[in-house]
Amino acid sequence: MSQNWRPTASILVLKEKARILQRIRAFFVQRKVLEVDTPIISVAAMTDPQLESFSTQYNQKEFYLHTSPEFYMKRLLAAGSGDIFQLAKVFRDDEKGRNHNPEFTMLEWYRLGFNHHQLMDEMEALLTDLMANKPVVFQKTSYQQAFINQLEIDPFEADVIGLKQCAEKFNIETPQGMDDDRDMWLDWLMVERVAPGFSKNSFTFLYDYPASQASLARLDKEGERKANRFELFYGELELANGFYELTDADEQARRFENDNIVRQQRGQKLMPVDGCLLDALRSGLPECSGVAIGVDRLMMLIMGAEHINEVISFGDEFSG
């Protein structure tokens, strides 16, 4: 008889995962952050060229499984919810591998009155609590300084020619199709050289990304070349992405439009823009910062797992 019916995670691991989820909820309850629950399907989708959404049909209309609960959560914020968090199943039409599963669990939360540095501090408090039995070290560095440290190049000054020369200097092989897409070059150098240079046994907050990679973050008030966005890594493994949130509806609409222009240039499907989110921004999104963290990757780290299947009850559903 086939054993394919069995879970990929051990029952012991699933019990530990349940305990950690309870601690996450307790952390936010103590801080009076409200747990919310939002839909996983929508007529709109994330336009970000780095993300691909699953779609489904209902009543002869196309819907999309969310890549993050962000848009619905911001609508709640605009409606007066106050501080909120959510543990949600999210879906990304992406590779299946050691650190990737197309369906995974995301923790996302928003704090009113916080800037991105204050939210990084709260993330540090949460992770310290969850990893109480492990030594934890946190480091912070700007995106600009990380490139200077690892590649001897300023990512805010370098053009595509300079980035290509940098790749050649450090013997970094580059895939086909990069062309003159500056952000693709920056992303590739990040993956191949910058992130691998982070301390292997500590958390690294990387903050103040180029404005061209702002996504849903506001631009820095002291210089619009920078966006108030951060990411969290453990070693070179990306764990979280956070923003000091953009509240300008017109600017957000321009970014959605530009995303779709980039998608068209790259031969990707154009994504329908979330008009309800834009209306919520126009009605007034409070000043806040938000972050999303991949819970399964965090579980891998806490439990010392080598593959994401080890922390997902049935992690091989996309392997057939």
pLDDT digit string, tens, across residues 231-251: 999 999 999 999 999 999 999
CB–CB of 155/141 below 8 Å? no
At residue 106, the pLDDT reads 98
Spatial separation of the C-alpha atoms in residues 299 and 310, rounded to whole Å: 9
User: Tokens 């994504």 identify what position?
Assistant: 271
Query: 25 exposed, middle or buried (CB, 10 Å; 0-12, 13-18, 19+)?
Result: middle
Span 3-39, pLDDT tens digits: 889 999 999 999 999 999 999 999 999 999 999 999 9
Report the candidate in 138, 278, 300, 118 with the shortest Cα–Cα distance to residue 203: 138
Can you state the angle between helices 11-30 and 295-303, rounded to 10 degrees?
Answer: 120
User: For residue 91, which phi and psi values (nearest 5 degrees)?
Assistant: -140, 130
CB–CB of 66/105 below 8 Å? no
User: Tokens 């879906």 identify what position?
Assistant: 91
At residue 263, the pLDDT reads 94
At residue 320, the pLDDT reads 55
At residue 175, the pLDDT reads 84
What token pair was written down for 127?
A: 């992770």
CA 257 to chain centre: 20
Does pLDDT of 174 surpass 90?
Answer: no
Does pLDDT of 176 surpass 90?
Answer: no
Spatial separation of the C-alpha atoms in residues 272 and 268, rounded to whole Å: 13
154-158: average pLDDT: 94
258-281: average pLDDT: 96
Tell which phi-psi region holds residue 238, choosing left (phi > 0), alpha (psi between -120 and 50) or beta: beta
Span 72-88, pLDDT tens digits: 999 999 999 999 999 99
Calculate what percentage of the chain has a pLDDT beyond 90.
89
What token pair was written down for 178?
A: 């990069």
pTM: 0.95
User: For residue 77, which phi and psi values (nearest 5 degrees)?
Assistant: -60, -45
CB–CB of 126/24 below 8 Å? yes
Torsion of CA 136, 141, 142, 148, to 10 degrees: -130
